[in-house]
Amino acid sequence: MERLQYDVVDVFTDTAFAGNPLAVVQGADGLDTRQLQAIAREFHLSETAFPLEPSEAEAAGGATYALRIFTPDTELPFAGHPSIGTAWLLAQQGRVAPGTIVQACGAGLLPLTVSPDGGPVELTGGTPTSGPPLDAEEHLSLLGLGRAHLDDVAPPLIVGTGIPFVVLPVRASALNECRPDTNGLREVHRRLHTNGVYVVALDLEAQAVRARMFAGDIGIVEDPATGSAALALGVWLASSGLVPGDGDHGVTIEQGLEMGRASVLRLRVVTEDGSAVRCLVAGQAVHVASGSIRVPE
């Protein structure tokens, strides 16, 4: 019976059984999409990643490897914690060298910087995108919150660097009071073509953020650490004028506390003329499990 090797790493933490767990399955180059989705459904983590040999075109563009990423229900063009966790694991296994590597994925060719000796990995997101302001009422209601929970420092926006999120600023007390309407969120995110709502409580003086991410139609309700949403937050901060218009700005994000999966994400936002031109997110990882899984027929 054919089997594939897998590892499970916890990402955006240096403590086992915290952060966001990720299954990385290697040797899956010959499998089709249906088989990859079946494996991801079996693990039933927020994401399962499959590092593959790059195509000739991807390799010609500088790709070190290709990465396909699946939630239990669907394939994503890009995601943060699978990108960082896979690069960290491959470096630990000696499959990639420390320094700058390039991942090919549905969002294009994305650079990652791998620290030596098991240190953090930093991911550069794709092209920043930002939409017009949204009325907060719909998302507040679907999260069991009201207007009094909103932080009116800036309006919600649909933003992203490869996949879009709604960024919704709230008062810190609101984070513990979220009671998401899963079906309602699924419907609104299908309509808006977003992957979830990133609920953020800001302390910009301390360059710190507390966050929760409630997913759209991807097979999970809440994610304990979301690198792609952190990158989207960088775009929102710049678009909202909450970081200086020119420079390289750092923010520390804590996520997953309410789930018992404490996570720390290090966001950098590079701005020019008031807009985000590049967003990067970094995090640590720790290995927790390995084994083999049967190849679906």
The number of distinct structural domains making up the chain is 2
Cβ within 8 Å of residue 148, ≥6 positions away? none
Percent over 90 (pLDDT), the chain: 97
Is residue 82 within 8 A of residue 225, CB to CB? The reply is no
Predicted pLDDT of residue 218: 67
Tokens of 288: 């927790």
Q: Which of 27, 4, 11 is nearest to 92 (CA)?
A: 11
Element (H, E) at 86: helix 80-92
3-state secondary structure of 184: helix
Predicted pLDDT of residue 215: 87
Per-residue pLDDT reduced to its tens digit, 11-69: 999 999 999 999 999 999 999 999 999 999 999 999 999 999 999 999 999 999 999 99
Same domain assignment for residues 87 and 105: yes
3-state secondary structure of 41: helix
Predicted pLDDT of residue 220: 76
Same domain assignment for residues 135 and 266: yes
Same domain assignment for residues 190 and 231: yes
Same domain assignment for residues 277 and 240: yes
Q: How many CB atoms lie within 10 A of CB 92?
A: 17
Percent over 70 (pLDDT), the chain: 98
CA gap 58, 60 in Å, rounded: 5
Per-residue pLDDT reduced to its tens digit, 216-238: 666 778 999 999 999 999 999 99
Per-residue pLDDT reduced to its tens digit, 183-217: 999 999 999 999 999 999 999 999 999 999 998 66
Angle between helices 227-239 and 80-92 (to 10 degrees): 130
Predicted pLDDT of residue 54: 98
Per-residue pLDDT reduced to its tens digit, 99-127: 999 999 999 999 999 999 999 999 999 99
Same domain assignment for residues 88 and 156: no
Same domain assignment for residues 56 and 106: yes
Same domain assignment for residues 86 and 218: no
CA gap 69, 173 in Å, rounded: 34
Q: Which of 136, 106, 134, 109 is nearest to 124 (CA)?
A: 109
Look up the domain containing 81 and give its range. 3-122+284-294
* Average pLDDT across the chain, whole number: 96
Predicted pLDDT of residue 216: 67
CA gap 37, 72 in Å, rounded: 7
Query: In this structure, what CATH number is given to the domain that contains residue 189?
Result: 3.10.310.10
Catalytic residue among 47, 58, 122, 222: 47
CA gap 47, 27 in Å, rounded: 17
Same domain assignment for residues 76 and 205: no
To the query of whether residue 47 is one of the catalytic residues in this protein, the response is yes
